[in-house]
Chain A
Amino acid sequence: MNKRINEKDLLSAFTNVGDDLIEESAVKNTQRPVRYKKIRFIGNAGLSASLCLMALIVVFSSLALSSGIEKVPIQSDGSANTGNVCEDLTKVPQEESGTSSRPCDTGIAAPEQNKQTFVPPESDTIIKPGSTTEDVSTTEPGKTTEPDATKPVLTDDEAKTEVPPGSGVIVADEDTYNNTDKKSENGAFYKTAAIILSALLLLLLLFYPFSVVRDEASGTTVYKSLLCKLGKNGKNTELTFLPFIKRGKK
């Protein structure tokens, strides 16, 4: 019962608001220009394009990550050089350290007595097929050997026996060598594609007229994007940038 009385009070209170407010709302009601979104599908097309671009960016980014990352070098003994730090270098067997037959196979500079015989894994030396044993022995870390026609050819088997296992030297056959280059190229391509698509997506989101409104009273069609607003009124075209910043300043 009380609730009904309060409802009545409140509704009556609205009845007794100022006459000017009533006039204003009623007059505006009849004079208000009818606005409607003239071309709704434009917004949908923009949304679809954005989603497609996002999907492509995800695909290219993942491809770039999978093929463009630094390759894990395969060592001559067939194990992967993971680059782990050898935590306790003192554990390297003494009898092996002098001959460099079993260097620390995990990636950092070895103790002083071993340094002269180790090739630091971070500067892996790639031996092209056809290189000689001399090439291998005289090659500085980080350099690629070139075949020398005047010297005897080192076969893959010889290379495997001559190159100290775990020394960080990669014995690559021709396929592996070419494949490495190809994957690097693909990675760069995917990375570039992802960047370009990201830029396109950004442009689309900033400038695409997701909202197209026609004001029947003034005959103006307003194309609104996130960054700018374009009003076309037959003769006049008005471009306004950053409408949201203007709104924020008020």
Chain B
Amino acid sequence: MEDGEILDLFFSRSERALSETSAKYGTKLQRMAQYITGNESDAQECLNDTLFEAWRRIPPERPNCFFAYLAKIARNFSLKKWERLSAKKRSGTISEISDELMECLPDNSSDVEEIVENKRLSAAIDSFVRTLNIEQRRMFMRRYFWNEPLSVIAKSEGCSESSLKSLFHRLRLKLKEKLIKENFDL
């Protein structure tokens, strides 16, 4: 079923919209949630929360990119779940990714915290990702948005984990340079 038809079901308040959405995008969203939380049952819970949130928001909202819209909701729920989990114990792929990203984070001082705004950071990252070539962009997004493990990316892209590690290391350094240029102080 096309996204437009599913959205029509949402607008007509048909519960079939949820089953169709789950059938079409459930696997991908749950896999991402599992990569973040590191737990299958938590991932299932995140998927259910995502569908409920979509049901609550649509209508009045009518997203242009339905899948991206759902992915963002699912990611936010997964990150919240991960935060709660990580208060007890750091686990899952997201912990590993978070540590990697710390390399290109601005300093943790309170002054810098005030400067760094979430929207600015998002815009900087967005523009950085767009400067990459299509292969690098896809792999970067798979790693840092979809939170896929290196082994999964390496297998599907036909390259070794070590080459991916070095690629991501170079990209993180580039991102760090960009953040410095855009006045995210170190």
Which A residues are closer than 8 A to B by beta carbons?
2-26, 28-29, 32, 34-37, 213
Docked pose: A229 CA to B109 CA in angstroms = 53
What residues of chain A lie closer than 8 Å to B67, measured between beta carbons?
A: 22-23, 26
Q: Are B68 and A22 in contact (CB under 8 A)?
A: yes
Closest residue of chain B to A27, judged by CB?
Answer: B67
Q: Are B142 and A29 in contact (CB under 8 A)?
A: yes
Q: Is B161 an interface residue (CB 8 A)?
A: no
Q: Are A24 and B110 in contact (CB under 8 A)?
A: no
Docked pose: A205 CA to B97 CA in angstroms = 39
Closest residue of chain A to B74, judged by CB?
Answer: A15
What residues of chain A lie closer than 8 Å to B119, measured between beta carbons?
A: 16
Q: Are B72 and A2 in contact (CB under 8 A)?
A: no
Indicate whether A13 sits within 8 Å of B121 (C-beta atoms), given known contacts A22-B141, A25-B138, A213-B158.
yes
Q: Are B65 and A23 in contact (CB under 8 A)?
A: yes
In the complex, what's the smallest C-beta–C-beta distance from B69 to chain A, in angstroms? Answer: 7
Contact of A10 among B101, B110, B130, B142 (CB under 8 A): B101
Docked pose: A8 CA to B71 CA in angstroms = 17
- Give the interface centre of B79, B141, B157 by most chain A CB atoms within 10 Å: B141
Q: Is B62 an interface residue (CB 8 A)?
A: no
Q: Are A17 and B125 in contact (CB under 8 A)?
A: yes
Q: Are A7 and B72 in contact (CB under 8 A)?
A: no
Q: Is B150 an interface residue (CB 8 A)?
A: no
Docked pose: A6 CA to B115 CA in angstroms = 12
Q: Are B113 and A2 in contact (CB under 8 A)?
A: yes
Q: Is B20 an interface residue (CB 8 A)?
A: no
